Amino acid sequence: MGPIDCGQILIRTKAIVAATMKSCILSTLATYLASAAALSIAEINGPAWLSPYNGKTIANVTGLVTAVGPSGFFLQDVGPANSAKFEKKGIASSGIYVFNSTAAKTVASGDIVTIGSSRVTEFRSSSAFLYLTEIINPTNIVKLSSANTVVPIVLGKKGLSPPNTQYSALDNGDIFGLPNGASLLSATNATLAPTTYGLDFWESLVGSYVQVTAPVALGTNNNFGDVWVRGDWEVTGLNKAGGLTITTGMCTVRDAAQKDKTDNTQIHPPPTQTRKPS
């Protein structure tokens, strides 16, 4: 072995350190750019009835798991519920359903996760139903933290209340002005006005974790275990039995919410739709 050239060792060491630092900087920059470019769930849902990202592949969606079912889980933007945002025209829901039974087995309520790659789709099992914006084909789900507190959006006198004058922008003030044509709302795809129209209000909460204050059942459970309720907000068409009567010119159905029979906290869903598990 010949003499050691300390100068060459030093130069090579500096080169290795420089290369390592460059790699680290580039990796950090790539992570930052990916995070900055990631869409929020509200952005995915968009301000109208259909997602502006329908059919597109998205990356690095981060959110709080609010509920888990056998076929998927609900994900919500990280951060406290902010009722003031409802004052903005065209509010978008900050919650979304991730449809994948395998992924559902890997998460729990209270987890904050990042979904590496997924695709946005609009699902409905019947042409008479409104579309439900979903995330499908999720891959590379990374759990960032767990056991986080899931805080519901309160619906009622001490929270948000649905408007009780008009049902939708298409019915001209009469719920029967759009007979069997709820799906036409998707075709029109107007910007939501949740402080003006009852149906827009509920659409702006689809996929969100909410709490109905003082719920009153308006009927019996269906075969999915769902029941229609009203909260302690102001309603129209209240009858002697405590239910809501729908009459021409009185869009009382806008005052009701559909909830699961288990308790008064719910993930607000669209009309019940059946589907095959993923």
Q: How far apart are CA 184 and CA 168, in angstroms?
A: 11
Q: What is the pTM of this model?
A: 0.74
Q: How far apart are CA 161 and CA 234, in angstroms?
A: 8
Q: What's the pLDDT tens digit per position in 179-196? A: 566 668 888 898 999 988
Q: Which of 4-8, 138-142, 190-194 has the lowest mean pLDDT?
A: 4-8
Q: Which of 57-61, 157-161, 241-245, 252-256 has the lowest mean pLDDT?
A: 252-256
Confidence of residue 126 (pLDDT cuts 50, 70, 90): confident
Q: For the chain, what's the residue count?
A: 278
Q: How far apart are CA 213 and CA 164, in angstroms?
A: 17
Q: What's the pLDDT tens digit per position in 7-52? A: 554 455 555 555 555 555 544 444 444 444 689 999 999 999 999 9
Higher pLDDT, 270 or 245: 245
| Distant-in-sequence, close-in-space partners of 270: CB < 8 Å, separation ≥ 6 | 129, 130, 132, 206
Q: What's the pLDDT tens digit per position in 62-92? A: 999 999 999 999 999 985 444 444 434 447 8
pLDDT over threshold 90, residue 58: yes
The fold of 41-145 is OB fold (Dihydrolipoamide Acetyltransferase, E2P) (2.40.50)
Q: Which of 1-5, 96-100, 126-130, 221-225 has the lowest mean pLDDT?
A: 1-5
Higher pLDDT, 277 or 240: 240
Alpha carbon of 163 to those of 166, 199, 208: distances in Å?
7, 9, 18
For the chain, the domains span: 1-31, 41-145
